[in-house]
Amino acid sequence: MKAGMPAVIVALMAVAACGDSMRDQPRYDPLSAAQGWPHNQSARVPPEGTVARDDSMAPDPQSPPTALSRAQLERGRERYGIFCSPCHGGSGHGDGMVVQRGFPAPPSLHSERLRAAPLRHYYDVISGGIGRMYAYGARVPPQDRWAIAVYIRALQLSQHATVDDLAPGERKALEKQP
């Protein structure tokens, strides 16, 4: 046996003995009690603003969780401008800036198929993506996804409204204009 070999063997045995303590570290089982933690719970409440996966926040999966309001529509317009307009364009015709620079155009939001789609379709597509579209579920909170969906519907209506769609009072006011 060469000189220094016993020292190497002892060092290797000492390092190998550390393996058990590294493998068997103390841990908490899910939802078990944990002394010294807030409320003696090992599970923590998610931080405010956390977006849960597949969380629609709506009792009716086909409609937004809150009644339609001007504030929600404005929020949807703002969020659409940030997340959607680079590809879909400001008008929703699929002519955004990245398309102008060579990226394949998305379908127009004004196509018959997409105008007939339920509001939930837009929420789901924003959440999980579709085709080349990136999933924004982790970046856009559920209430903002609904706001964008509502804004898309308003955008579609703005491009395809007729005089027959107006309320009688609005129609009369329009007819009085020169």
Quick: pLDDT tens for 78-97.
999 999 999 999 999 999 99
Rg of the chain, C-alpha, whole Å: 28
Task: Give the Cβ contact number of residue 165 at 10 Å.
Answer: 10
pLDDT confidence of residue 82: 97
pTM value surpassing 0.75: no
| Percentage of the chain exceeding pLDDT 70 | 85
Q: Where are the domains of the chain?
A: 70-162
Work out the burial of residue 47: count CB atoms within 10 Å of its CB; fewer than 13 is exposed, 13-18 middle, 19 or more buried: exposed
Number of DSSP helices (H) and strands (E) in the chain, helices first: 8, 0
CATH superfamily of the 70-162 domain: Cytochrome c-like domain (1.10.760.10)
Query: Which tens digits make up the pLDDT trace of 40-65?
Result: 888 777 788 776 665 555 455 566 77
Determine phi and psi for 41, rounding to 5 degrees: -120, 135
